[in-house]
Structure 1
Amino acid sequence: MRSILIRSFGGPGVVELAEVMPVPQPGPGQVLVRVAAAGVNPADWRIRAGEVRRLGEPPLGLGLDVAGTIVAETAEGGRFRAGDRVFGVVVPPQGSFAEYVAVPETALALTPDCLEDAEAAALPVAGLTAWQALVGAARVLTGERVLVHAAAGGIGHLAVQIAKAHGAHVVGTAGAANQAFLRALGVDEAVDYRTPDVFARSERFDVALDPLSGANALRSLDLLRPGGRLVDVRGTGVDRTGLRERAEAGGVELTELYFRPDAADLGALADLAARGALRPHLGRVLPLERAAEALAEVERGHARGKVVLSVAAG
């Protein structure tokens, strides 16, 4: 089978298309999935660059998001059957940028009929991050004011829809070129993060979701009411001790979140999609052999929605 891997950490040049890789053999609790599409996330280029080392040393497969079809069920007889369309999360050293992957059933959910495979592949990591931030950590409630930074991005555009589905009043930030896109997503107010300065606003929010981190997280504290909740899904940049101390002093609940694969949460995302309340936006769909280009595009930032790789198993 074909698979994307790296044999050393580095720039786009280390990304390799391996043509004759063995089809993985599922272990206990795993199913074999024929991959139809794989989403591209910022974590993928950070793994390529060596910024994320906890997944091991090269050689490593790349890719976390997967959507495809079950071709081999678990030996124990689990939740899925051959022929089921599924989406979920694959963790390196295997990686989802491949024609076949072995995936734990606990990291998968059934793909709703309303989503094409490429759309389903755009949903797992960004969708889980947005869901676990807003519903799990922030416990967003009907009528609350929610600020979503980078609202046109992979996490942000899904977070807007999730917050709206929970009855929140949503303000989203993005560049000038993405203002109409934010309004189409359903934000109550679209704000150009350059002008006017969102951090100069006088009103206060109940919840802020920050996928940017750095100084952005620190400045977001001043936009929250006492008792408000800031969810930082990057956890990098400014001194983290200082950020935590500022949050505590201001009476703000700070959560530094890294998503976790969870079948129930994936199922909740599928339910929202089936209800018409959640739709991933595909910024670009590229073939598997252009994985290096896809990673570089995500690394440059400012992409609208998600970049996805189309995979055709041989």
Structure 2
Amino acid sequence: METMRAVLFNRYGGPDELYVATLPVPEVQAGGVLVQVDATSVNGADLLLRSGKLGLLTGRRFPKQLGIDFVGTLVAADTGANLGGLSIGERVWGTVDERGGARSLAEFVSVPAMQIAQAPDSLTPEEAVTLLAGGTTVHTGLVEKVRVQRGQRVLVRGAAGGVGSVAVQFAKARAAHVTALAGASSMEFVRELGADVVHDYRTTPCQSLGVYDVIFDAHGSDLLAFRRLLAPGGRMVSIAFDKNAPARSLLGIAASTVFGARRIRFFRGKPTRRDFQRLTAQVERGEIQPVLDRAFPLSGSAHAHAALEGHGIRGKVVISLSERG
């Protein structure tokens, strides 16, 4: 039986619960493909899953795996799979279905064929994977959910993070006026991404920020307070739970839906090949650039989680499997 390394955890808790184990290489499912993973990133959803803060939703069956996105090599495909012109041996990128069993923090991942597309040739696997979850999420949020337009005033919360840094670039590519919230040490970095105005989120009162047509929230806290900054007809989209009180975030979104004309839209993306192809085209046009904070080896997955839970992250924390030692 062919085996692989994968990262698991046997109970909810801190980063030190993560360990590297040996598992069978997953089988190719009907209509599916097998990808040898070169890089994956650490996302907020991974932290919530590992910590157990959404344990009522994720259950108590262990061990559990992690990992949402991946860049790697297509190594096998079901004979009936729709590869969309892809060939075995080609570099691809994609995401797993978070509601399914497959996870990408492993040397191999098995996913439906429609969950992959050709990866950009101009980026390394570690660079490319910084854009996957964020790029597809931002397109869904800013285009499909709130329809950002040229000249609109956009506020991005969590602008230095893995998703927020892409949101700033994406909104500027659509000719919006972008105000960003970030930590003091990251303000110049966010300006370089294209933000027109940057505020220190720790010292700038919410009520002093002005009025916005669109708010893109990658932070999750104080949602109802920020909703008050929306102009008439304004739209707010949130892709994060408050890490300290996720239930409060859910209640705020529910209250907005029932009682507020200016509704807070929360979503979890489910991107497919078309989304990844669109993202590849954006990269090739130079509309968005990768933002890699640092990369860890598979054996350093616990350190990668600890880094993301700390402060001062700029862009994405990545786990690299390119070297197989």
TM-score, L = length of structure 1? 0.92
Separation of aligned partners in 2, 1:196 and 1:214: 15
Q: Is the counterpart of residue 209 in structure 1 residue 216 in structure 2?
A: yes
Which runs of structure 2 are paired with 1:81-160 in the superposition (5 Å)? Answer: 81-90=87-96, 91=98, 93-160=101-168
How far 1:55 sits from its partner (Å)? 4.8
Q: Is the 1:34–1:71 contact (alpha carbons within 8 Å) kept by the matching residues of 2?
A: yes
Aligned length: 311
Separation of aligned partners in 2, 1:240 and 1:47: 16
Structure 1's consecutive aligned runs of 4 or more residues displaced over 3 angstroms after TM superposition are 52-56, 91-94, 235-251
How far 1:307 sits from its partner (Å)? 0.2
User: 1:35 is matched with which residue: 27, 34, 37?
Assistant: 37
What is the one-letter code of the residue matched to 2:46?
Answer: D
Aligned partner of residue 154 in structure 1, secondary structure: coil
Where in structure 1 are there 5+ consecutive unaligned residues? none
TM-score, L = length of structure 2? 0.89
User: 1:49 is matched with which residue: 48, 51, 64?
Assistant: 51
Q: Is the 1:73–1:81 contact (alpha carbons within 8 Å) kept by the matching residues of 2?
A: no
Separation of aligned partners in 2, 1:242 and 1:309: 33
What is the one-letter code of the residue matched to 2:37?
Answer: V
Aligned partner of residue 31 in structure 1, secondary structure: strand
* Residues 48-69 of structure 1: per-residue CA shift (max 9 Å, x gap): 1223444552112211111101
What is the one-letter code of the residue matched to 1:178?
Answer: S
What is the one-letter code of the residue matched to 1:89?
Answer: T
| Between 217-226 and 71-80, the greater mean CA deviation after superposition | 71-80
Separation of aligned partners in 2, 1:48 and 1:119: 24
Q: Is the counterpart of residue 255 in structure 1 residue 270 in structure 2?
A: no
What is the one-letter code of the residue matched to 2:150?
Answer: T
Separation of aligned partners in 2, 1:22 and 1:243: 41
| Between 285-294 and 87-96, the greater mean CA deviation after superposition | 87-96
| Between 85-94 and 110-119, the greater mean CA deviation after superposition | 85-94
What is the one-letter code of the residue matched to 1:161?
Answer: Q
Q: Is the counterpart of residue 73 in structure 1 residue 73 in structure 2?
A: no
In structure 2, the partner of 1:267 is 277
What is the one-letter code of the residue matched to 1:48?
Answer: R
| Between 90-99 and 75-84, the greater mean CA deviation after superposition | 90-99
How far 1:298 sits from its partner (Å)? 1.3
How far 1:22 sits from its partner (Å)? 1.3
- Considering only aligned residues, what root-mean-square deviation do their CA atoms show, in Å? 2.0
Aligned partner of residue 238 in structure 1, secondary structure: helix
Q: Is the counterpart of residue 61 in structure 1 residue 65 in structure 2?
A: yes
User: 1:7 is matched with which residue: 5, 10, 13?
Assistant: 10
| Between 143-152 and 76-85, the greater mean CA deviation after superposition | 76-85
Which runs of structure 2 are paired with 1:268-307 in the superposition (5 Å)? Answer: 268-307=278-317
Q: 1:51 to 1:75 in 2, by over 3 A?
A: farther
How far 1:128 sits from its partner (Å)? 2.0
Identity %: 39
Q: Is the counterpart of residue 226 in structure 1 residue 236 in structure 2?
A: no
Where in structure 2 are there 5+ consecutive unaligned residues? none
